[in-house]
């Protein structure tokens, strides 16, 4: 049986101090308990940037400005092949709601290595660890760069939080 191939967009949501917003998948979901960069599966004829705006609104009630393309990773899970495309993003508001995840927090880039992330996110973390000033990069590259590889034709307990 063929595994599905899913194109997924992830947001590297940055704060002024360079910390990134990460979220933890609830135990009952696939990869439950793992941390991830928020995002989700692309729908038909949807760009990665459009997907991130939609998914972050649905999952976190968070409006963002999607910036530059950062990285792409293909990872083979037992259940599917995931093509993960990461983009820089900045929040346009201070509040968000956890609608899907069971936790979220701001994390410095060095602290990411101490958390259990979904395996597809690990190469992105390794690349982030090589950067000296990710916030500077996100601001510098705030214009949207479309990457056609990340625009797939196929896509197969609420808590109140406050952004500091």
What is the rounded distance in angstroms from the CA atom of residue 9 to the CA atom of residue 16? 22
pLDDT of residue 151: 39
pLDDT of residue 137: 46
**What are residue 106's phi and psi, to 5 degrees?**
-90, 135
Read off the tokens for 9: 């967009």
pLDDT of residue 156: 26
- Please, what's the b/e burial string for 101-120 (b: 16 or more CB within 10 A of its CB; e: otherwise)? bbebebeebeebeeeebbeb
What is the rounded distance in angstroms from the CA atom of residue 87 to the CA atom of residue 108? 17
pLDDT of residue 94: 84
**What are residue 100's phi and psi, to 5 degrees?**
-125, -40
- Mean pLDDT, 10 residues at a time, the chain of 164 residues: 92 94 93 94 96 97 97 94 97 92 95 94 94 50 38 29 36
pLDDT of residue 132: 55
Cβ atoms 24, 104 nearer than 8 A:
yes
What is the rounded distance in angstroms from the CA atom of residue 153 to the CA atom of residue 126? 29
Cβ atoms 163, 91 nearer than 8 A:
yes
């Amino acid at each position: 049986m063929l595994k599905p191939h899913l194109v997924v967009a992830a947001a590297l949501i940055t704060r002024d101090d360079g910390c990134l917003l990460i979220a933890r998948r609830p135990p009952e979901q696939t990869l439950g308990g793992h941390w991830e960069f928020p995002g989700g599966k692309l729908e038909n004829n949807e760009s990665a940037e459009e997907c991130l705006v939609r998914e972050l609104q649905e999952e976190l009630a968070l409006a963002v400005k999607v910036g530059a393309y950062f990285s792409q990773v293909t990872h083979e899970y037992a259940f599917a092949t995931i093509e993960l495309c990461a983009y820089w993003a900045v929040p346009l508001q201070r509040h968000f709601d956890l609608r899907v995840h069971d936790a979220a927090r701001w994390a410095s880039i060095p602290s990411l290595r101490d958390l259990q992330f979904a395996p597809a996110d690990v190469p992105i973390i390794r690349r982030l660890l090589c950067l000296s000033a990710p916030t500077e990069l996100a601001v510098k590259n705030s214009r949207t760069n479309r990457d056609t590889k990340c625009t797939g034709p196929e896509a197969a307990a609420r808590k109140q939080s406050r952004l500091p």
